[in-house]
């Protein structure tokens, strides 16, 4: 086809014609690729390694665990922080050692502050022993000081956390009894704000997360987050846990999607599923569950669904009584984790 002068100029200006329909192709700014976190909480890893446990690829090649997860498609690592744990695991030094390893692999890092010397979850929010006698104002200072100190050690070791949870599964608040949300929502908010401010002081780019379990429970999330908001708290990300059975995962995934979209409409926040798990010996069903959940999170309105994390997939051989990992008893990943690749 012979081009006249005008057509030639259009070609030069707009980059040519579509071969299909001769419609001018208007140049545009490339759409940035949204980062979607596919990750795992591996906080048990150093403790497991200390007992001689090793990990293997599906073909039997011994492989460092984080590298193995990266090979399976994961790009992020989540690590819990305890204040003064009796055995030392999950204290600041242990967390930093694991975070440095993740960073060296090019993986993003999420830090999960429990504000306890041990597990914090919907049924347990026990204050650290050193904080046991403190009043509300002093507890706020302790939250701020602890958070800032851990963040600064991470930063000094070259790790800037991408996400930071202020509290773990704080369905009914944190630092009980003072911060129990059902009896004193204002104190819960004060403690959350203290942690939020400490994170932002150390690392303004780190996104702060409020984490509530049972991602399918819209009423719980509205009550908790409305209460925080009414008492002056702000956050960047809403974190959810989701642990369905093999029988109800489809229903809970659908309910979780409804809840995620409601959270986006209500608060404008990004949403992340930061804990999932299913029995290790139901790998095929778990694969279907996670594959469907990742698709649903990616479909959240306004591109606000930003990631899915498996909780302690490396746990196997009934490690500490936990059976919802995603490795078999020979230390190899199960089919479940193929959902991340």
Catalytic residues: 169, 275
* Rounded CA separation 41/117 (Å): 18
- DSSP state for residue 250 in the 8-state scheme: H
Output the CA torsion 319→323→326→332 (10° steps). 50
Q: What residues pair up with 80 in beta bridges, in sequence order?
A: 112
* Rounded CA separation 193/117 (Å): 20
Distances (CA, A) of 30 to 18, 27, 200, 301, 316: 18, 9, 31, 21, 44
- 298 burial level (CB within 10 Å; 0-12, 13-18, 19+): middle
147: CB partners within 8 A, 6+ apart: 113, 164, 166, 194, 195, 198, 199, 202
Pick left, alpha or beta for residue 69 (phi over 0 → left; psi -120 to 50 → alpha; otherwise beta): alpha
Closest CA to 238 of 257, 220, 218, 212: 212
| Token pair of 232 as six digits | 């002056």
Query: Residue 2, Cβ neighbours under 10 Å: how many?
Result: 5
- By the 8 A CB rule, do 25 and 15 touch? yes
191: CB partners within 8 A, 6+ apart: 115, 139, 140, 143, 167, 173, 174, 175, 179
- Which residue stretches of 105-184 are H helix? 136-156
């Amino acid at each position: 086809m012979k081009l006249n002068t005008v057509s030639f100029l259009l070609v030069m200006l707009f980059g040519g014609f579509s071969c299909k329909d001769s419609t001018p192709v208007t140049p545009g700014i490339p759409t940035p690729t949204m980062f979607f976190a596919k990750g795992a909480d591996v906080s048990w890893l150093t403790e497991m390694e200390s007992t001689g446990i090793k990990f293997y690829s599906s073909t039997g090649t011994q492989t460092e665990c984080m590298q193995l997860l990266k090979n399976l498609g994961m790009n992020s690592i989540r690590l819990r922080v305890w204040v003064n744990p009796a055995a030392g695991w999950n204290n600041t030094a242990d967390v930093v050692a694991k975070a440095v390893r993740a960073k060296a692999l090019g993986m993003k890092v999420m830090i999960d502050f429990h504000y306890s010397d041990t597990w914090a979850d919907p049924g347990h929010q026990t204050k650290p022993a050193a904080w046991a006698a403190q009043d509300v104002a002093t507890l706020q200072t302790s939250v701020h000081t602890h958070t800032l100190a851990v963040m600064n050690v991470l930063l000094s070791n070259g790790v800037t956390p991408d996400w930071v949870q202020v509290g773990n599964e704080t369905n009914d608040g944190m630092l009980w009894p003072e911060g129990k949300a059902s009896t004193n929502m204002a104190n819960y908010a004060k403690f959350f704000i203290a942690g939020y401010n400490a994170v932002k002081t150390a690392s303004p780019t780190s996104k702060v997360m409020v984490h509530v379990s049972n991602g399918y429970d819209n009423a719980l999330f509205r009550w908790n987050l409305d209460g925080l908001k009414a008492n002056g708290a702000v956050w960047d990300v809403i974190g959810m846990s989701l642990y369905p059975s093999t029988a109800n995962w489809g229903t809970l995934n659908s309910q979780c999607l409804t809840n995620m979209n409601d959270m986006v409409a209500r608060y404008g926040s990004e949403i992340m599923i930061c804990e999932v798990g299913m029995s290790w010996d139901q790998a095929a069903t778990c694969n279907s569950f996670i594959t469907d959940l990742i698709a649903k999170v990616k479909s959240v309105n306004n591109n606000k669904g930003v990631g899915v994390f498996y909780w302690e997939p490396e746990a196997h051989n009934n490690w500490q009584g936990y059976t919802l990992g995603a490795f078999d008893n020979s230390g190899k990943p199960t089919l479940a984790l193929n959902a991340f690749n």
